[in-house]
Chain A
Amino acid sequence: MHASPDSFSVRRRGFALLLVIVVLGFLVLIVVTLATHLRIEQAVALRRFQVEQARRHALTGLSLAVGQLQREAGSDRQSIAGAPMLGAVAANKTHWVGVWGPDGNTPRWLVSSSDPDQPNPLSLAYAQPVTLVGSASAEVSAGATNDPDQVRVDLIAVTVPAALVPGWSEAGDPVIGRTAYWVGDESGKLPALLRDERSALVGEAPPNPWTALDLSALWGGFDLHATGVQGALAKVVAYGQLGYVDSTAFSAARLRRNFHRVTVVSRSVLSNPAGGGLKQEGQPDGSRAYGTAEAPRYDEQFYIRNPPTGTDPDHLPVALFSVHRANGVVPPSAELSGPRASARLLIAGGINLNTVSDDVTIQRERWRAILSAARTVRFPSGEQRTLSSGELDALASQLTALRFRAAYPDVGKAAFAPFGGVGQFARSGLLQAAIDATMINQGRTALSPDRIDQADLLATLAPILLVRSDTFLVRAYGEARDPFRAESLGEAWCEAVVQRLPDYVDPADDPWAAPVSVDNELLGRRFVVTSFRWLTAADL
């Protein structure tokens, strides 16, 4: 039964084969493991690169937005309004912002456009839309594509020369990504945050209309002026932080509902939209004369001090200011008063009266809040009258979008165009017509001491009313694409607050003086990014 030499040899060969297979299997395992490891590392590196590329394209969108703002809205003599100024627009274009020149002609829209030469993109159907404000930011139904609080804009292709993409043989330059941007109007919103930095600096605490501004209807009756709330409000630097002040009043649902209605970042330049240049600090020569058709100085002058002896100091409008620190440097106190102080100050807040809405509730709530700032009217006689809630509601109801879109040929305002100045708004008599349409002066004659006319309201409101906007919220989108397969490789979103300042683009010119530099003539006053954050899809 001994194994023959032949069978022994066969067994040995079998063992060798087994050994070879085991060794080969082991080697294959090592190679597969290494290959997998390398593939994972490569995928991670590629993913990082694609996200970075998408972010670069989002930043390109942001740069385009700031560039367009500078080009279209840098000059003092511009009016700014939302798309509803033109009447009916597609719901998801409601929050597009347009810039009208002094001639009141066709506006330029501050959004990315697939056809930049098209004068009125509002009339175009979207070619390749992307959502920049959706259900996480505003009151938008999930999955909606045409909601009034939603913002959609068209994508712009990002291309590179064909020579930069090896293997590219198709016609046209390869598309390596897409970008889009939307410029939102912060000055068209009601300001919820009001700090008087100037008062803190120079020890002056002037009365101002903001202290009476009543936004409680927007926040379920919450009083923003209540003791204990102001300290928390002063810490708010981003809209979403309002939820930390009071989680019930500023609930997530209310924050979404008021996303397009309330701001915490708006500041405005004291510029003259009617004649250009900065406003000059002046002294009113008669409280009631301020705000009449004969003294249309709303656009030319502003007031930061109590009036000369003999007038009623409480009657005078004193807006709330914020110090403009050029390069972060606090200007000397001497520069914060006097005729040229407008180069060193910004209005904290400021409300663009050209912002209108066809949503009756929104329009009424907005004007109800604005008018509340002038609720207590003080007359030259020393008497004062406080408008009741019903009277404010009635007056607010009369200030409909329709009235703002109407033509006022006597003062040079065309239909479907914004007002070109607060003076023009006053002279149009729109506010007076609204007063006359209510019963607030019922039983009073023209000589009654407590009869309210528009001059009485504008005396308080004019310093905080604007016809343009100086603070904008920009949202930009970036996408990296595979040019060969036309597939998306990564997406990114960013958001920035962009502020117009009194300084010119070219610092060679004094902000106070008329521009000498050609750049300043063309581009006007400087825009800077004052806040920036990356967003995720969950933030939109």
Chain B
Amino acid sequence: MKRDENRKRSGFTLIELLLAASITAVLSGILVITVVQILGIWSRSGGAVAATGEATRILDQLAQDLDAAVLRPDANSWLVGTVQRDQSGVGDTGMTDADWTGLTKPAGVASLRLGAGDLRIDQLRFGQAGLWLRFFTIEPDANDSATNRSLPRAVAYQIVRRRSGARHAYQLFRSQVRPGGTNSTFSSGYDLLASAYVTPNGSEQHPGNIRRPNARFLLGNHVIDFGARIFVQGAGGATTLAFPFSAEAGQSFVATAGTSSIPGYASRPVVRGWPVTVQVMVRILTEEGARLISNLETGRVAVPAGQSYDSYWWELAEAHSLVQVRTITPRARVP
């Protein structure tokens, strides 16, 4: 009896062990594969959800601003949109920690695909730093004093590539100038092409914020493109596409009855009119996309043989980003 008990306690046979090990290995393998797949899906969907939320938040803010856009039929420039083709040349925001040097989102034609109405807006590219859109609006719930509440203020939307340690981030800023007081919208006037609004000054309360946003005005992360199609009322009352008006080069839209040219962009074409509808787009990288683009720009990932940097940058960007579009109709019309 005792010997039998000892035998029972002596453990597993080799075959049992091998079988158990094999089953465990197979199960572990399946588990690992499943977990990796689930984590991948989780990461991608989580990234997409986060990017969607970011895009929705940006477009909600823009919709609220454009809803209450202030437009008057005079020679001032009330709304200006400029395609920023190349940040190494004209149009650099000059933000203190802005950095468009080295490998970046491609400048020039690689990031310009403006179409002539034949492409959907989510297929367009609005230049290296996207559209620089600025206008006057009335913000209802700004954290201002009572005397500054719900009155016209200048706002600007623009993308800045910022350096943070060894890495870079593409961020969308919504800078604003307070309604009244020193260096305010009221004291600077309503001409967005006047020097007050085009001379960079990143102080938080300065009209130069329209050109150089203060860091406090960050609106969204991983925004690699931002653009708009602007429709005006044509002859006979029909709504027609006014901007972008050509597939090439930087170009601007100005809501004005005047003829001013854009400082710094004098050689680029301009179309003038009064917007009745604005279709806006924002392209946002997922977290994974941001990591991949960062690796490409820092040289950790090599460009595949036979492919140019510019095309590979956009291939990665388009595969790991999402585009949200919204059509907004400013409620006030120019009489």
Contacts and interface: CB of A to CB of B under 8 A. Distances in A.
Interface of A: 48, 136, 197, 235, 237-238, 240-241, 243-244, 247, 252, 323-325, 327-328, 330, 496-497, 499, 501, 507, 528-536, 538-539
Contacts of A528: 333, 335
Nearest to B72: A237
Contact of A244 (B68, B74, B140, B180): B180
15 contacts: A235-B189, A237-B72, A238-B152, A244-B184, A247-B147, A252-B147, A328-B73, A496-B332, A507-B236, A530-B332, A532-B331, A533-B140, A534-B64, A536-B140, A536-B141
A539 B140 contact: yes
Chain B contact-residue range equals 35 or more
Given A238-B151, A241-B152, A325-B335, 9 more contacts: A238-B138, A241-B180, A244-B186, A325-B257, A507-B237, A532-B332, A533-B68, A534-B67, A539-B150
A529 B273 contact: no
A532 B140 CA distance: 11
Nearest to A502: B335
A425 B184 CA distance: 46
Contact of B257 (A330, A501, A536): A330
A534 B137 CA distance: 10
Interface of B: 60, 64, 67-68, 70, 72-74, 138, 140-141, 146-147, 149-152, 179-181, 184, 186-187, 189-190, 233, 236-237, 257, 273-274, 330-335
Contact of B332 (A247, A252, A327, A531): A531
A532 B67 contact: yes
Contacts of A252: 146-147
Contact of A243 (B60, B150, B180, B333): B180
A497 B334 CA distance: 12
Contact of B274 (A328, A533, A536): A328
A325 B140 contact: no
B335 A499 contact: yes
B74 A197 contact: yes
A533 B72 CA distance: 15
Given A243-B147, A252-B147, A324 B335 contact: yes
Nearest to B234: A327
B150 A533 contact: yes
Nearest to B273: A328
Contacts of B187: 244
Contacts of A497: 332
Contacts of A501: 335
Contact of B335 (A237, A530, A536): A530
B103 to A, nearest CB: 37
A325 B334 contact: yes
B331 A496 contact: yes
Nearest to A236: B186
Contacts of A507: 236-237
Contacts, number: 96
Contacts of A247: 147
A240 B150 contact: yes
Contacts of B60: 48
Nearest to A59: B331
B96 to A, nearest CB: 30
A539 B149 CA distance: 8
Contacts of A237: 70, 72, 152, 190
A325 B73 contact: yes
A26 B46 CA distance: 24
Contacts of B335: 324-325, 499, 501, 528, 530
A529 B64 contact: no
Contacts of A538: 146, 149
A535 B334 CA distance: 21
A235 B196 CA distance: 15
Contacts of A496: 331-332
A328 B138 contact: no
A240 B333 CA distance: 21
Contacts of A536: 140-141, 149-150
A530 B180 contact: no
A145 to B, nearest CB: 23
A252 B333 CA distance: 29
A529 B333 contact: yes
A355 to B, nearest CB: 23
Contacts of B274: 327-328
A247 B145 CA distance: 14
Given A535-B150, A536-B150, A539-B150, A530 B333 contact: yes
Contacts of B74: 197
Given A507-B237, A535-B150, A539-B149, A241 B186 contact: yes
B157 to A, nearest CB: 19
A534 B334 contact: no
Contacts of B257: 325, 328, 330
A48 B179 CA distance: 26
Contacts of A136: 146
A60 B69 CA distance: 19
Contacts of A238: 138, 151-152
Contacts of B184: 244
Contacts of A530: 332-335
A534 B273 contact: no
A528 B330 CA distance: 12
Nearest to B67: A532
B277 to A, nearest CB: 14
